[in-house]
Amino acid sequence: MQRQSRVWLLWTATTALVLFSAGAVAWLAYAGWTQREPYFHDDFAGDANSHVHQGGWQAFGGTWQVVNGTMQNIADDRGAKLMNGNTHWHNYTVEADIQLLSETGDAGFVIRATQEEVGVDSYHGYFAGLRDLDDTLILGRADYGWHEFRAAPVHSGVYTSTWYHLKVIAYECTIAAQATAQDGSTTIVSVHDPHCIQNGRFGLQSYSTGAVWRNVELRPASESELLAIIGRQIPAGPNEPPLVPALTDLAEYQRDTAPIQRELRDYRTDLHALPIANLRLLAPNIPSHVTIHGVVTLVSPILYIQDSSGGIAIPQARTSRPIQIGDAVEASGDADLHDFSSVLRNASVRLLWSHTPVPPVAVTASQAATGAFDAQFIETEGRLVSQQGSREKSVVLRLTEGNQSFLATAENPSPAEEPHGFEIGSRLRLRGICVTDSAFTHDEIPFALLMRSVEDAQVVAPPPWWSAQHVVELIFGILTLSFALQLLYVSFKRSRLRAVIEERERLAHEMHDTLAQSFAGLGFQLETLCEEAQPGSVMRAQLESTVDLVRFGHMEARRNIAALRPGHLEQIGLAKALEQAALTIIKGGPIAVRVFVRGDAKQIPLRIGDTLFRIGQEAIANAVRHGRPRTIQLRLVCGRHSVKLTIRDDGEGFSPQDECSGFGIRGMKRRADGIAASFRIRSSRGHGTSVAVRAMLPQTMLSSWWWQTMRRGMWRYSQHGKAL
């Protein structure tokens, strides 16, 4: 016992030591991971999706892609974020070159952020960035709502498609941002937040504009670096005026008008630009160099622009600066006429102005199939038939509407757009460019939709309940319920009949222990008195007659007891029970009993078997009592749907017209009617008697004709599916 206690203590101590060591190692690893110095650098080399996922970026809205060493958001979502880093990072500096693509929003850095979600200001953290709407450098805090601390004017102005270097420092509770223009001028904003957010990760954010970032770098921040930007003065609080550095060289800022003049020169447009629809009027098979104006409706995989008259595709377009959806552009190139729209080849595209999105045209699938809306931005609806496996760079949906089938494709999905689990059969509302080009339709469908992102597909209605799967499940449920109810009904009937049989056995025992024993005792007493009486006397004759009556009553009591106890009908079977009952009634007399059985008698339900036993027992007793036969034949035929019992004897017979009102025959008919069986008796004087009973077996679920038919149909369907 003591040895077992020592072993138990040793095992407990070893387990505790191992658990403590594992916990210590895990804690040290976690502490080392959370307290590591913040270092990060990304020059955006590689393609969009593979780079974004390998670089640890996580998108919340927007359409992000890597192009020529830059990270671009080409959508003008409100509050699109691309996050990275560790939520335990505390003091760090992040900087990069940044470029805005439209004039109505802002873009910059999110720092010390946690609990990010898709949506405007849906995070806890700080934001610093450039705003083109009022040419300012802004600094504020987001707590699922925006609180702006500072907005300092950028003296050189904030222009689209112009590079600025943005640097943001978070040291303790002081946040500072510095924007440097191409001419070297700087703008600084800073704030001291007494209730600051202590740590969080960083990210890129744009609001109501597309934007471009390059050379993103993050490193630990120091107090000396912070003081080098804001000076040795303590930064102002959230409600105090901002600190703006003085201008030291006015001549440098006078050169700021040069970019503005260049921008104004870019806005001069070709007055001879043609409407897109008029390209259809050009002579076919003759190269024509044309100039058109339109608004960008799709950037990837092919550039599409659209004006009020129609749309056009521009493959391999040459652009001097990044463009985004909603930009108004001028395109010049060679017109190539197709069946329903045109293609502009060898085209150069330049930006006119930004942020003029085109609303989609609501059309039906039948209208889109005519080709009248080829190369145009449309909105339509359809029911999802299949969603092909999302490849690395595309998501393909197959839909139907009425008698039309079409595809919807989202090329180069954003990292935030994981494959949507649209349910098959859902009704979707989709936006995209309608194309009839065989490169997208594969000559199998009338048109295809090129969506900007998977977000352009929205669920309008869930799939209908009456789908093939649900119908099969309903049928299976009904069949299972029917089978269960039938089993319950059969079990109830069997238990009820079993109770009747048990009651009969109880009565048989009572009769055996009381009535039969009384008859036996009474007969013994009468025989004793008869032996004491004088031979030949009247008393002796009366006693002998009384003894015969008692013996007959004893015999009838024993016969009734045997009738109440059918000899365990379930165990020995109906045929054997009838044979035993016949032998009991005959009692070794000169009557021969022959039994013929065909089929499986085990499938006879207990209620039907008991009723047939009672009818057969009564028929055998009647033959023995009244017919004086030499042979009694018992024939039992068991089929799939019915069972037939025939009792035939070669006795004296009788006239059924005279005897049909007898109690025994009426009792047999009543028993047959109780199980809905047909009853027939044939007899004539001198030719014996034949009693036939035919009962239908109850059709269970597994033996009914409709179940057999459905099972055969399902088997044929499975064989047909295997053949396909």
**Peptide bond before 301: cis, by omega within 30 degrees of 0?**
yes
- Mark whether 548 and 561 lie in a shared domain: yes
What value does the mean pLDDT of the chain take?
Answer: 79
- Mark whether 327 and 378 lie in a shared domain: no
* Residues 308/356, Cβ–Cβ less than 8 Å: no
CATH of the domain at 668: 3.30.565.10
- Mark whether 10 and 54 lie in a shared domain: no
Helix (H, G, I), strand (E, B) or coil at 708: helix
Structure tokens at 526: 């009468």
Give the structural domain span for 483: 465-565
Q: What is the pTM of this model?
A: 0.47
* CA separation for the pair 131, 211 (Å, rounded): 11
Strands (E), 185-287: 186-192, 201-207, 211-220
Q: CA dist 400 to 15, 381, 387, Å?
A: 63, 9, 12
* Residues 87/199, Cβ–Cβ less than 8 Å: yes
State which of 227, 244, 261 marks the end of a domain. Answer: 261
Q: Mean pLDDT highest for which of 204-213, 382-391, 679-688? A: 204-213
- Mark whether 297 and 337 lie in a shared domain: yes
* Number of Cβ within a 10 Å radius of residue 192: 18
pLDDT(246) > 60: no
* CA separation for the pair 530, 540 (Å, rounded): 6
Burial class of residue 76, CB neighbours in 10 A (0-12, 13-18, 19+): buried
Work out the average pLDDT over 613-626: 84
* CA separation for the pair 206, 212 (Å, rounded): 9
- Mark whether 493 and 603 lie in a shared domain: no
pLDDT(146) > 50: yes
- Mark whether 52 and 192 lie in a shared domain: yes
- Mark whether 27 and 161 lie in a shared domain: no
- Mark whether 595 and 680 lie in a shared domain: yes
Helix (H, G, I), strand (E, B) or coil at 41: strand
* Residues 322/374, Cβ–Cβ less than 8 Å: no
In the chain, the N- to C-terminal Cα span, in Å, equals 72
- Mark whether 114 and 211 lie in a shared domain: yes
CATH of the domain at 349: 2.40.50.140
pLDDT tier at 715 (50, 70, 90 boundaries)?
low
- Mark whether 525 and 471 lie in a shared domain: yes
CATH of the domain at 147: 2.60.120.560
State the virtual CA torsion across 112, 117, 121, 125 in degrees, nearest 10: -10
The pairs formed by 344-347 with CB atoms below 8 angstroms and a separation of 24 or more are 344/290, 344/292, 344/312, 344/313, 344/314, 345/315, 345/316, 347/314, 347/317, 347/318
pLDDT tier at 251 (50, 70, 90 boundaries)?
very low
- Mark whether 96 and 219 lie in a shared domain: yes
State which of 221, 241, 261 marks the end of a domain. Answer: 261
Give me the pLDDT at residue 419, please: 47
Interval 493-515: pLDDT, tens: 778 777 877 777 777 667 766 77
Interval 68-81: pLDDT, tens: 889 998 887 788 99
State which of 512, 539, 565 marks the end of a domain. Answer: 565
- Mark whether 490 and 438 lie in a shared domain: no
Q: Which residues pair with 320 in a beta bridge?
A: none
Interval 549-602: pLDDT, tens: 777 776 666 666 666 655 556 667 788 888 888 887 777 678 888 989 888 877
Total structural domains within the chain: 6
pLDDT tier at 548 (50, 70, 90 boundaries)?
confident
Give me the pLDDT at residue 222, please: 87
Q: Would you say how long the chain is, in residues?
A: 724
Closest CA to 578 of 589, 570, 588, 567: 567
